[in-house]
Structure 1
């Protein structure tokens, strides 16, 4: 597992003009999967990339799937992305980058992160997100369009071809600024429209109490969405009793004692 900043564009590599045009034309498309599909067309043949998923990490919440593309088609990769967002995102090496670079100037940072199947310690995470989708390696392009929001363009390598070779990493680096700018502009057009209201509401909660853990934020998201403790537990893969524990802990940190007070805090009425 490794990560590195791409501080200056790599001015090498060939660019297929028709595929670059397709990438630009997908920005703001009504087809939510068009952007990932065009990224896959741009890079798939030259780096043996079989899948692409674009996630938005917004205000410390669970990642939201923005766009997916898989050579096999169908819902398979979308289901894998949903499983990742529900159960495993906190184990992703991307999280360390997102959480440790909050003070960087938004829009100025492009980070590449490589995470192979062998880097995954958690067996369930490795099975669900690498072995079942037939992935051996992943390179993520991480870009921050605005404060507290990150986009991750994940490029998955087909297991038949092993891990990425240095030449293929160099090709990804060459295309990374183009892909990152496309993702940022797409998010600027569609991001706010598609963002869940609960995520927007939690932005204020995190401002009041930055110490809230990811588990606590996930539980509060479910509360704001009107889910029961059992439904939240099913989504997170934990027991309903654990959900109640996380909720009580979060309420205590926030200085509140009820869901009504949580909603009041989210809409800007301050501490109750």
Structure 2
């Protein structure tokens, strides 16, 4: 797998005017999947892509599916996205990008990340997210709409068409800034209401202790949202005993021992 930055707008490729219009309309469409469907159609005019999913990685918590589209239709792709977010996101090669602090001047940059099926070592992850959906290659456009939040526009290649080729990658690069602007606008209109007070407090905790693991952050997020161990376990796809273990580890890293102290920590003024 590999990644590279698109720091300046590439020369725009030829895009049908009606596709651009559809993309703009999809930003404020009532159907959240309209954006992914529009991107899938636009890319599909010139190269074979079978699926498009847009994830939001917010404050290092487990990703949330923002929009998804599949030529097959139905809930299939949403189910795959749910399994990925519940069980496998921490194994994704994009963690090297979305899981690390970024300099403020780098927030405007776009990053492309390519991950092929054969590069995934974990058999369960490869089976659930690549083999079963019949995917051979994934190209992700990564961008930051705001600090501590990443959006990933994922384009999936059907196994019948092999891997993305250099010329095809260049074509996606030529449309990257258009897609990025659309995704940022869509997130501003539809995404931020999902964050709420709990997400803001989670960001405070994350800044206080960068050493927290993704699973520990997931548990803290559920705790801050008022969920009990059983409810958090169901969201994460683990046992309640595992949730308690992650919670104890997180509390130890933070130097606290209770939920009350966790909330108190979140309300403390940050040192400049």
**The 10-residue stretch of structure 1 (237-246 or 47-56) with the greater mean CA deviation from structure 2:** 237-246
How far apart in 1 are the matches of 2:53 and 2:196? Answer: 19
Q: Give the 3 Å change call, closer, same or farther, for CA 125–9 of structure 1 in structure 2.
A: same
Partners of 1:106 and 1:144 within 8 A in 2: no
Per the TM alignment, residue 270 of structure 1 is displaced from its structure 2 partner at its CA by 5.8
Q: Give the 3 Å change call, closer, same or farther, for CA 246–146 of structure 1 in structure 2.
A: same
Task: Find out whether 1:60 has 2:60 as its counterpart.
Answer: yes
Which residue pairs with 1:16 in the alignment? 16
Q: Residues 11-50 of structure 1 correspond to what in structure 2 (within 5 A)?
A: 11-50=11-50
Q: Residues 95-174 of structure 1 correspond to what in structure 2 (within 5 A)?
A: 95-105=95-105, 107-174=107-174
**The 10-residue stretch of structure 1 (97-106 or 60-69) with the greater mean CA deviation from structure 2:** 97-106
**1:39-71 Cα deviation digits (max 9, x unpaired):** 011112322111111111111111111111111
User: Residue 45 of structure 2 aligns to a residue in which SS?
Assistant: helix
User: Residue 203 of structure 2 aligns to a residue in which SS?
Assistant: helix
Per the TM alignment, residue 7 of structure 1 is displaced from its structure 2 partner at its CA by 2.0
* Structure 1: gaps (5+ residues): none
Per the TM alignment, residue 197 of structure 1 is displaced from its structure 2 partner at its CA by 4.6
How far apart in 1 are the matches of 2:34 and 2:197? Answer: 24
Partners of 2:64 and 2:85 within 8 A in 1: yes
Runs of 4+, deviation exceeding 6 Å: none
**The 10-residue stretch of structure 1 (224-233 or 129-138) with the greater mean CA deviation from structure 2:** 224-233
Per the TM alignment, residue 198 of structure 1 is displaced from its structure 2 partner at its CA by 3.1
Per the TM alignment, residue 106 of structure 1 is displaced from its structure 2 partner at its CA by 5.4
Which residue pairs with 2:176 in the alignment? 176
**The 10-residue stretch of structure 1 (222-231 or 123-132) with the greater mean CA deviation from structure 2:** 222-231
Per the TM alignment, residue 118 of structure 1 is displaced from its structure 2 partner at its CA by 0.6
RMSD: 1.8
* Structure 2: gaps (5+ residues): none
**1:61-108 Cα deviation digits (max 9, x unpaired):** 111111111111111111111111111111111110112352242542
Number of residue pairs matched by the alignment: 270
How far apart in 1 are the matches of 2:226 and 2:125? Answer: 28
Which residue pairs with 1:252 in the alignment? 252
Q: Give the 3 Å change call, closer, same or farther, for CA 159–104 of structure 1 in structure 2.
A: farther
**TM-score normalized by the length of structure 1:** 0.92
Partners of 1:62 and 1:89 within 8 A in 2: yes
Per the TM alignment, residue 167 of structure 1 is displaced from its structure 2 partner at its CA by 1.7
Q: Give the 3 Å change call, closer, same or farther, for CA 141–175 of structure 1 in structure 2.
A: same
How far apart in 2 are the matches of 1:142 and 1:30? Answer: 24
Per the TM alignment, residue 196 of structure 1 is displaced from its structure 2 partner at its CA by 5.5
